[in-house]
Amino acid sequence: MKKTLLLSLSCLLSHQFMQAQTFSDDFEAYNAGAYLGPQSPNWTTWSNADGGTEDVNVVTTAAHSGTKSIYFTSTSATGGPTDCVLPFQGPHNTGQFVFTAWFNVGVGKNGYFNFQASNTTGQQWSIDCFMNADSSLVFSNSGTTMLTATYPQNAWFELKVDANLNSSLWNVSVNGTSVGVYHNPVYKIASIDIYPVDASSSFWVDDVSYTHTPYTLPAVNAGLPLIGLTTGLGVAGQQRTPTVEFRNLGTTAITSYDIVFGNNGVQTTQNITGVNIASLGTANLASTTPITLVAGANTIWAKITNVNGTAGDGDNTDDSISITMNIVQPAAGKMVIAEEGTGTWCGWCPRGAVALANMEKYPGYFQGLAVHNGDPMTNDDYDAAIGGLISGYPSALVDRGTAIDPTGIEADFLQRIILAPKALLVNGATYNASTHELKVSVTTTFQQAVTGDFRIACALAEDSIKGTVAGYNQANYYSSTSQNIALVGAGHNWQTSPNPIPAAQMQYDHVARLISPAFDGFPNSFPASVSQGAVYTHNFTLILDPTWKSNYIHIVGMLIDPTGKIENASSTTIAEAINHGFINGTDVTVGITTFDAPDQQIKLFPNPVSNTAFVQVQLGNQNNVSMEIYNVNGTLLSAKNYGKLSNAYTLPINTEQFSAGVYFVKIYIDGKPSVIKFVKE
């Protein structure tokens, strides 16, 4: 079933077109086993290096017509080196452009191409097209999903893109059937770039063609090619501001115009003067009146009039635009959780950060948890549990459903947020800033009678994390130096950022710090049969790492159903939970849960300490050991790397210069941290 962000769009199209220019290639004229570029006057590569490693071979292993095609695959996690480009004799920024090609993607494999907006590759992308291993077909622009559909794997299929470059209305078809229409914010198209994005890429391309029908600009003509909302989709009850992009599709500069915004029977008019928009120039304009979304169809429209003080312009077919969005009604008290597997070493994982940042437009309805792997923000228990449910990075679980690419989080969210929850959750808390002890109460009020092993769990997520060591450098396969896919969001234009991005330039949000008492929750948290209206409270005692910033932490309560899915959740800051009040209930904490529970093989004595404390560790053979001392404010007081140690070892801590109070010893054994609290008398 297709999914589109813009579920219904309309824009009147112009017919002032001239003779079309066309191109087609079935690869039958080329020698098999040889590079395409040196044999063709049309095809080239990303860096115009025909016949080199970027070039593609003509093959006879599969073909849609005849016996030959071109084949793309890679053995590298970052894709390539093949990077094949077909210029479209442009760039084209008006008129009608139609591209058609036949693709064959192997089972469990993926394919990819993008349209470039400039004759110089790497300057601007028109669109990215992902043919994913799960048979999903995704068109995106700068990391924002424009359209999602499906395609047949291990079979030849025709993919057609029909773009009106005046209105920027793009229609995508698979095997002759439209799978969606969307407005593209980029009007220009200059070439196709075909690229195997990673080691899972394996696809053939055949029978490539395109047609461009030019457009004659009238003397005066204003058009509205784009309409949308400030932050994209929303749910019923949220406010959004309609926006349009105005485009001068005439030869004369536009200095004034009126624009009318309409929504659900209400309209407002804005008079725009004192502007000077050159031919083919654009301007963005937001309505002065925000709208409140309602459940069901929301039609937002705009119309431009009085251009340069005239009653009409040279082409009235592009003066109006509308968008209809189906807005869902969130169920009362429902919150959706997305847990995303990620890591700073993972060059594709920036798209997960972009996806979670995009979901921040749903406050009170959504909470993201970035579960890190193999970097300084890793929580071993959480990471191990997520790792067993996903097949690669980045991947996401929405309410612990089927693993998906992070680009699909919003679509899954919109399906989950409408489901009436079986219970409502409320967080309460007390926090001791001196000892970093956070006591949490999660109160569950059942709205329906339930049976089975429902469980409760509590997680912590932290925003605004910054580090200085190399482990906080973010690998970035979207960098223009190593990858040809557009991605913008989460504080970066990832094409113009380096690979890796230095730690000093990175901020990590939604980081999953811990989950208690376990990923699967506390067994038999409730009776086997629970009646409607029953109320239960569970308590968690959590010790925060002294380096964590308590004002950037969210407490996340989770009700897990007998199938392991998250039935409902709650998310509050520590301050909000304190305001709700802590309620005594059933203690489900297993020991004292820290960011990583102190290892039983690690002991500190004496405690309290007067002058010298000793940390005793029981090691295996050749473990890397280092130790850090922090005060209660999270200030690092000392650090020492002991190198490789083995067997039993006792490490002294001189506390003579420490003032009386609470301190924390953070010990790393082969990179795994543990914390022990001690008191200086």
The secondary structure element, H or E, covering residue 416 is helix 409-416
Give the residues across from 98 on adjacent strands.
162, 211
Angle at 603 between CA 597 and CA 604, to 5 degrees: 110
Q: Are residues 246 and 147 in the same domain?
A: no
Q: Are residues 172 and 97 in the same domain?
A: yes
Contact between 484 and 83 under an 8 Å Cβ cutoff? The reply is yes
Angle at 523 between CA 521 and CA 526, to 5 degrees: 100
CA proximity to 412, closest of 171, 142, 145: 145
SS3 69: strand
CA proximity to 9, closest of 181, 143, 158: 181
For the chain, the residue count is 681
Q: How many domains does the chain have?
A: 5
SS3 577: helix
pLDDT at 593: 37
The neighbour count for residue 189, using CB atoms within 10 Å, is: 26
Q: How is residue 27 annotated by DSSP? A: S
pLDDT at 594: 39
Q: In whole angstroms, give the CA distance from residue 655 to residue 93.
A: 70
Q: Are residues 323 and 336 in the same domain?
A: no
Q: Are residues 124 and 32 in the same domain?
A: yes
The secondary structure element, H or E, covering residue 86 is strand 84-92
CA proximity to 598, closest of 556, 543, 680: 543
Residue indicated by tokens 């228990």: 381
Q: How is residue 420 annotated by DSSP? A: P
Q: In whole angstroms, give the CA distance from residue 451 to residue 305.
A: 62
Mean pLDDT, the chain cut into blocks of 10 residues (681 residues total): 32 48 96 97 96 97 98 92 96 96 96 96 92 93 87 97 94 97 91 95 98 95 91 92 94 95 90 95 92 94 93 87 93 98 96 96 97 95 93 95 93 97 98 93 97 96 96 92 76 92 97 93 91 96 92 98 97 98 82 40 81 83 85 78 84 88 81 76 86
Q: Are residues 435 and 415 in the same domain?
A: no
CA proximity to 483, closest of 118, 286, 195: 195
Residues in CB range of 160: below 8 A, 6 or more apart: 98, 99, 100, 172, 173, 174, 176
Predicted model pTM: 0.75
Q: Are strands 239-240 and 291-292 parallel, antiparallel or unpaired?
A: antiparallel
Residue indicated by tokens 């059942």: 446
Q: DSSP labels for 206-266?
A: EEEEEEEE-BPPPSS-EEEEEEEETTS---TT-EE-EEEEEEE-SSS-B--EEEEEEETTE
- The enclosing domain of 112 has a CATH number of 2.60.120.560
Residue indicated by tokens 């020492």: 640
- The enclosing domain of 643 has a CATH number of 2.60.40.2550
Contact between 53 and 81 under an 8 Å Cβ cutoff? The reply is yes
The neighbour count for residue 270, using CB atoms within 10 Å, is: 15
Residue span of the structural domain in which 302 resides: 222-327
Q: Does the N-terminal peptide bond of residue 517 adopt cis geometry, omega within 30 degrees of 0?
A: yes
Q: In whole angstroms, give the CA distance from residue 487 to residue 493.
A: 6
CA proximity to 379, closest of 600, 669, 672: 672
Residues in CB range of 640: below 8 A, 6 or more apart: 626, 627
Contact between 436 and 546 under an 8 Å Cβ cutoff? The reply is yes
pLDDT at 484: 67
pLDDT at 240: 95
Single out the residue in 312, 327, 342 at which a domain terminates: 327
Q: Are residues 611 and 593 in the same domain?
A: no
Q: Are residues 493 and 365 in the same domain?
A: yes
Q: Does the N-terminal peptide bond of residue 608 adopt cis geometry, omega within 30 degrees of 0?
A: yes
Q: In whole angstroms, give the CA distance from residue 371 to residue 519.
A: 12
Dihedral, CA of residue 621, residue 624, residue 630 and residue 634, to nearest 10: -120
Single out the residue in 182, 213, 244 at which a domain terminates: 213
Q: Are residues 156 and 7 in the same domain?
A: yes
Single out the residue in 278, 297, 327 at which a domain terminates: 327
Residue 292 to residues 210, 239, 240, 243, 287: CA-CA distances in angstroms? 42, 4, 6, 14, 13
CA proximity to 239, closest of 361, 328, 324: 361
- The enclosing domain of 546 has a CATH number of 2.60.40
Q: Are residues 429 and 524 in the same domain?
A: yes
Q: Are strands 69-73 and 492-493 parallel, antiparallel or unpaired?
A: unpaired
Q: Are residues 7 and 53 in the same domain?
A: yes
Contact between 23 and 42 under an 8 Å Cβ cutoff? The reply is yes
Q: Are residues 380 and 319 in the same domain?
A: no
Q: In whole angstroms, give the CA distance from residue 441 to residue 458.
A: 9
pLDDT at 130: 95
Q: Are residues 189 and 43 in the same domain?
A: yes
